[in-house]
Amino acid sequence: MTSLKFIKGKGMGRISDRLQYAVEKNEEAKAKIKDLLEMGRAVLDTPEYNETKMEVLYWQKRVTDLRKIHYGLKKSQKNSVTLGSTVKVKYGALEKDYTIVTSLEADPVNGYISEMSPLGRALLNKKQADTVSVRAPSGEFEYRIMSVS
């Protein structure tokens, strides 16, 4: 199995955990292909082999995508809002914490907003004390960034 070092901190935990899981599943699928190939050439035309081959391709793509995200988070500017950041924003008298996540992980009711949402896009690359404007069907809203972690 491949040994990788993952960094932690500033929202990295979830991405690192998902990347580690994808690496492990990729290694398992590769081992399964190897076992099937040891059975001989006749196995190359079986549905099990084709399914396992597709599984390997899926996990390889997932590992590649997660590594890109992970690398991007490592390179992100300090104290600016990036994927994985938790941001405390103030709108009027209301303060709320949001964590910026991918669209697959978004759960606005629990404070996880997509980087593709209007608020998520407005917050990206901003810093503490910045003010952002978000245009919505019901009007334009201004949020002040109270903290970034």
Find residue 144's DSSP bridge partners.
90, 131
**Cα–Cα distance list, 126 to 34, 78, 85, 121, 147 (Å):** 48, 11, 11, 10, 11
Identify the pLDDT of residue 5: 39
Q: Which residue is associated with the tokens 């899926």?
A: 58
- Contact between residue 5 and residue 30 where contact means Cβ atoms under 8 Å apart: no
Q: Is 139 helix (H, G, I), strand (E, B) or coil?
A: strand
Q: Are residues 97 and 59 in the same domain?
A: no
Q: Residue 71's pLDDT is what?
A: 66
For residue 50, tell me if it sits in a domain.
yes
Res. 39 pLDDT band, cuts 50 70 90: confident
pLDDT tens across 70-82, in order?
666 655 556 788 8
* Integer Cα distance of 59 and 21 in angstroms: 10
The reply to whether 31 falls in a domain is yes
Q: Is 2 a domain residue?
A: no
Whether 1 maps to a domain, the answer reads no
Whether pLDDT at 17 is above 60: yes
Identify whether residues 59 and 35 lie together within a single domain.
yes
Q: Band of the pLDDT at 3, cuts 50, 70, 90?
A: very low
The pTM assigned to this predicted structure is: 0.55
Residue 102 vs residue 116, higher pLDDT:
116
Please check whether residues 63 and 22 belong to one and the same domain. yes
Question: How sure is the predictor about 8, in pLDDT bands with cuts at 50, 70 and 90?
Answer: very low
Last residue of a domain, one of 75, 99, 122: 75
For 110-126, how does the pLDDT look when each residue is reduced to its tens digit (9 = 90+)? Answer: 999 998 999 999 999 89
The boundaries of the domain holding residue 70 are: 12-75
In whole angstroms, give the CA distance from residue 96 to residue 10: 18
How confident is the prediction for the chain on average, in pLDDT? 83
The amino acid at residue 47 is P
Domain count, the chain: 2
pLDDT of 103 reads 81
> Smallest Cα–Cα separation from 127: which of 90, 95, 80?
80
Residue 72: both structure tokens together: 């991007």
Q: Examine residue 80 and state whether it is found in any structural domain, yes or no.
A: no
d(CA 130, CA 103): 24
- Rounded mean pLDDT, 21-32: 92
Does residue 100 sit in helix, strand or coil? strand
